Chain A
Amino acid sequence: MPPSAAVSPSLDIENLMVTVAEGSGRRITILDVPALSVAPGERLGIAGPSGAGKTTLLHVLAGLLPGSGRLAWGAVELSALPEVARDRWRRDNVGFVFQDFALVPELSVLANILLPISFDHWRVPAHLRARAIELATEMALPETSRRALLLSRGEQQRVAVARALLCCPRLILADEPTASLDADSGAAVIDLLIGGARKTGATLIAVSHDARFLARLDRVVHMEQGGLITASTNDDGERP
Chain B
Amino acid sequence: MNPWPIILADLRSLRWIAWAVPLVVAIAVAIGIAVSAQDQALRTASARAADDFDLVIGAPGSQTQLVLTTVYLQPDAIGLADGALLNRLANDKRVAAAAPIAFGDVVHGYPVVGTTTSFVSRWGRLQPAEGRTFAAENEAVIGASVALQLGATVTPSHGMAHHGSLGAEDTEEYAHRHEEAQYRIVGRLPRQNSPWDWAILVPIESVWEIHGLGNGHAVDEAPLGPPFDAKTVPGVPAILVKPKSVADAYVLRGEYRKNGTMALFPAEVLVAIYQTLGDVKLAMVVVSGFNNALVLVATVALLLTMVGLRQRRYAVLRALGAPRRYVLLAVWLGTAGLLTAGCVLGLGLSLLASWVAGSVIEARTGLHLAVTLGWSELAFFALIILCGSGMALIPALFVYRRPVSPNLRSSA
Closest to B14 in A: A106
Q: In whole angstroms, how far apart are the Cα atoms of A77 and B229 in the complex?
A: 112
B316: A residues at CB distance < 8 A: 98, 102
Query: A102-B316, A104-B313, A106-B12 known; A118 and B321 CB under 8 Å?
Result: no
A107 engages B9 (CB within 8 Å): yes
B1 engages A119 (CB within 8 Å): yes
B9 engages A104 (CB within 8 Å): yes
Q: In whole angstroms, how far apart are the Cα atoms of A96 and B408 in the complex?
A: 12
- Mark A90-123 against chain B: 1 for CB-CB distance below 8 A, else 0: 1110101010001011110001000110111111
Closest to B321 in A: A91
Interface size on A, residues (CB 8 A): 31
A87 engages B323 (CB within 8 Å): yes
For the complex formed, measure the closest distance between the CB of B337 and the CB atoms of chain A, giving whole angstroms: 16
Q: In whole angstroms, how far apart are the Cα atoms of A206 and B71 in the complex?
A: 87
A122: B residues at CB distance < 8 A: 1-2
Closest to B11 in A: A106
A123 engages B318 (CB within 8 Å): no
Query: A87-B323, A98-B316 known; A56 and B3 CB under 8 Å?
Result: no
Query: What class of interface size applies to chain B in its complex with A?
Result: 20 to 34
Q: Which of B1-29 contact A (CB under 8 A)?
A: 1-6, 8-10, 12-13
B409 engages A96 (CB within 8 Å): no
Instruction: Tell yes or no: A59 within 8 A of B by CB.
Output: yes
Closest to B327 in A: A119
A119 engages B322 (CB within 8 Å): yes
A120: B residues at CB distance < 8 A: 1
Instruction: Tell yes or no: B245 within 8 A of A by CB.
Output: no
Instruction: Tell yes or no: B320 within 8 A of A by CB.
Output: yes
Closest to B12 in A: A106
Instruction: Tell yes or no: B404 within 8 A of A by CB.
Output: yes
Q: In whole angstroms, how far apart are the Cα atoms of A214 and B167 in the complex?
A: 91
A119: B residues at CB distance < 8 A: 1, 317, 320-323, 326
A118 engages B318 (CB within 8 Å): no
Instruction: Tell yes or no: A163 within 8 A of B by CB.
Output: yes
Instruction: Tell yes or no: B319 within 8 A of A by CB.
Output: yes
Instruction: Tell yes or no: B405 within 8 A of A by CB.
Output: yes
For the complex formed, measure the closest distance between the CB of A84 and the CB atoms of chain B, giving whole angstroms: 7
B320 engages A96 (CB within 8 Å): yes
Q: In whole angstroms, how far apart are the Cα atoms of A107 and B13 in the complex?
A: 10
B9: A residues at CB distance < 8 A: 104-107
Instruction: Tell yes or no: A64 within 8 A of B by CB.
Output: yes
A96 engages B405 (CB within 8 Å): no
Q: In whole angstroms, how far apart are the Cα atoms of A122 and B2 in the complex?
A: 5
For A106, give its contact among B2, B13, B318, B320 (CB under 8 Å).
B13
Instruction: Tell yes or no: A234 within 8 A of B by CB.
Output: no
Listed in ascending order, the chain B residues whose CB lies under 8 Å from chain A are: 1-6, 8-10, 12-13, 312-313, 316-324, 326, 404-405, 408-409
Given contacts A64-B319, A65-B404, A90-B319, 5 further A-B contacts (CB under 8 A): A91-B322, A98-B319, A106-B10, A118-B326, A120-B1
Listed in ascending order, the chain A residues whose CB lies under 8 Å from chain B are: 55-56, 59, 62, 64-65, 83-84, 87-88, 90-92, 94, 96, 98, 102, 104-107, 111, 115-116, 118-123, 163
* 9 nearest CB pairs, A to B: A91-B321, A106-B12, A106-B9, A102-B316, A65-B405, A118-B2, A59-B405, A122-B2, A90-B321
